[in-house]
């Protein structure tokens, strides 16, 4: 899954974007659907699974550990699970490509099974630190050997039976929380995660949906999530809502390109994920929710987004956990707002697929945007709706969200913007550029 041949692409200023799009299935839910279906006893069906490289890496890893996964011609994925505790010793290294979610969550699954697995990844993933998940899983008894700096390649030797722990998250991380909860599934007793700052709650919702005994209790220490181990999960029929992180690019694009009106269908609006839309509303974006509904326990709606003048804001730091993946495209929106936007409290951006703060400073700065960099965020001085200068070649740094965010920026730039490598976009949104052409009427 490594991207050997760069795929540069040039983005020029666009006429109004018009039309209706359906974004790929939610990446977080897709990963968890495959993992939990693989631990259920019997056949689960998944509709709307994101078929990007990251999720396919999860599917491949689960197959390697004995789970039968098939995709039928109607796009439905069927998974025959092996039961909690039933994962088999993989016969080869688990190749994670660019997927940090796959790596951290699967490490949690394996930590309480009597198997050993080696995780490998591409150049980008191999730079990302895994220490934050190594610590709690080691406390549960797993023997984890990582490369220098707590990086991939990494070998995880599971402990069975593992030791239940009570673990307070030192940083807001849904991946670390989920890894511990998944390890707790096959651990005798009750495993607890204390979350001082709430993060996306897909794991809690899905674990409960599959029949795990799980409680969530608000306390003065934060949310206390408790899971009872040695669970028996029941197979499910899952409908994956559209990924709000993918929808974010069209919401910002329609907001900044004059004359645009885009309907984004079936967007998951879980409140632990919808911070970007809250921030855009604060900036004056014209976003209307249509047909709000609940699908598979997740709130969903269609969004109609029309071009509107944006005004700079101070982004509330408590929004950070609910929009951590959307900051790159929020910085793009801020580049076209009236005034100086400030976004702080996003330390996590430093350890994503790239250092997304530094990456966006370099990218937007090269395109003539005035910025101030902080350790935990950015200040962006906008154009008041005018095009940015553009005319630069941008390093995507093997980061799909940098590539897509700067594509959006190029849609309202005076001179074309070149993305040095658009290939990483396939990790989360394989049809992104085709969808852009449809909205442009090409």
Per-run averaged pLDDT (10 residues), the chain, 442 residues: 76 98 94 98 96 95 98 96 98 95 97 98 92 97 97 98 97 94 98 94 94 97 97 95 96 98 96 95 98 88 98 94 93 98 89 87 98 96 98 95 97 98 93 98 91
Chain centroid to CA 155: 24
Could you tell me if residue 61 is inside a domain?
yes
Could you tell me if residue 380 is inside a domain?
yes
Could you tell me if residue 4 is inside a domain?
no
Could you tell me if residue 1 is inside a domain?
no
Kindly state whether residues 42 and 18 are assigned to the same domain.
no
Domain of 166, in residue numbers: 27-229
pTM: 0.86
Query: Whole-angstrom Cα distance, residue 364 to residue 369?
Result: 5
Kindly state whether residues 416 and 285 are assigned to the same domain.
yes
Kindly state whether residues 77 and 217 are assigned to the same domain.
yes
Kindly state whether residues 173 and 266 are assigned to the same domain.
no
Give which of 248, 210, 226, 215 is closest to 46, Cα–Cα.
Answer: 210
Q: Pick left, alpha or beta for residue 18 (phi over 0 → left; psi -120 to 50 → alpha; otherwise beta).
A: beta
Kindly state whether residues 223 and 255 are assigned to the same domain.
no
pLDDT at 4: 61
Residue among 325, 386, 399, 420 flagged as catalytic:
325
Kindly state whether residues 122 and 49 are assigned to the same domain.
yes
Kindly state whether residues 337 and 390 are assigned to the same domain.
yes
Kindly state whether residues 66 and 151 are assigned to the same domain.
yes
Choose one of 175, 205, 229: the last residue of a domain: 229
Binding region: 27-28, 32, 100, 128, 173, 175, 325, 352, 356, 401
Tokens of 89: 């010793």
Q: Is residue 306 classed exposed, middle or buried when 0-12, 13-18 and 19+ CB atoms within 10 A define those classes?
A: middle
b/e code 385-398 from CB counts within 10 Å (16+ = b) = bebbebebebbbbb
Domain tally, the chain: 2
pLDDT at 1: 43
Could you tell me if residue 156 is inside a domain?
yes
Kindly state whether residues 257 and 379 are assigned to the same domain.
yes
List, in sequence order, every residue forming a beta bridge with 74; answer none if it has no partner: none
Active site residue 325: yes
CATH number assigned to the domain comprising residue 220: 3.65.10.10
């Amino acid at each position: 899954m490594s991207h050997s041949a760069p795929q540069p692409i040039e983005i020029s200023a666009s006429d109004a974007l018009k039309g209706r799009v359906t974004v790929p299935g939610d990446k977080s839910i897709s990963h968890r659907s495959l993992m939990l279906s693989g631990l259920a006893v019997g056949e689960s069906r998944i509709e709307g699974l994101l078929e990007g490289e990251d999720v396919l890496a999860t599917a491949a890893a689960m197959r390697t550990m004995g789970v039968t996964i098939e995709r039928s011609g109607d796009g439905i994925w069927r998974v025959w699970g092996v039961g909690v505790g039933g994962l088999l010793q993989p016969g080869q290294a688990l190749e994670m490509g660019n997927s940090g979610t796959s790596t951290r969550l699967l490490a949690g699954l394996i930590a309480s099974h009597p198997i050993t697995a080696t995780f490998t990844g591409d150049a980008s993933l191999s730079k990302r630190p895994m220490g934050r998940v190594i610590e709690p899983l080691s406390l549960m008894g797993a023997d984890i050997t990582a490369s220098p700096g707590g990086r991939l390649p990494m070998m995880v030797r599971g402990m069975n039976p593992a030791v239940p722990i009570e673990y307070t998250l030192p940083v807001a991380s849904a991946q670390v929380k989920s890894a511990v909860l998944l390890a707790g599934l096959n651990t005798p007793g009750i495993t607890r995660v204390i979350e001082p700052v709430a993060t996306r709650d897909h794991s809690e919702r899905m674990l409960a949906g599959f029949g795990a005994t799980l409680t969530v209790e608000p306390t003065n220490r934060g949310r206390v999530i408790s899971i009872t181990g040695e669970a028996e999960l029941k197979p499910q029929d899952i409908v994956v809502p559209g990924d709000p992180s993918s929808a974010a690019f069209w919401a910002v694009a329609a907001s900044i390109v004059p004359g645009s009106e885009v309907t984004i269908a079936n967007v998951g609006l879980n409140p632990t994920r919808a911070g970007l839309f809250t921030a855009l509303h604060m900036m004056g974006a014209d976003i209307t929710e249509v047909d709000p509904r609940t699908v598979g326990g997740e709130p969903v709606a269609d969004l109609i987004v029309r071009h509107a003048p944006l005004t700079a804001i101070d982004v509330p730091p408590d929004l950070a956990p609910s929009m951590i993946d959307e900051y790159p495209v929020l910085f793009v929106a801020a580049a076209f707002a009236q005034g100086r936007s400030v976004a702080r409290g996003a330390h996590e951006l430093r350890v994503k697929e790239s250092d997304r703060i530094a990456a966006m400073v370099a990218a937007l700065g090269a395109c003539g945007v005035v910025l101030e960099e902080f350790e935990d965020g950015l200040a962006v001085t906008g154009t008041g709706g005018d095009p940015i200068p553009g005319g630069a070649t941008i390093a995507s740094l093997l980061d799909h969200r940098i590539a897509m965010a700067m594509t959006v920026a190029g849609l309202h730039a005076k001179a074309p913007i070149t993305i040095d490598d658009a290939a990483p976009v396939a990790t989360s949104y394989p049809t992104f550029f085709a969808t852009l052409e449809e909205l442009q009427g090409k």
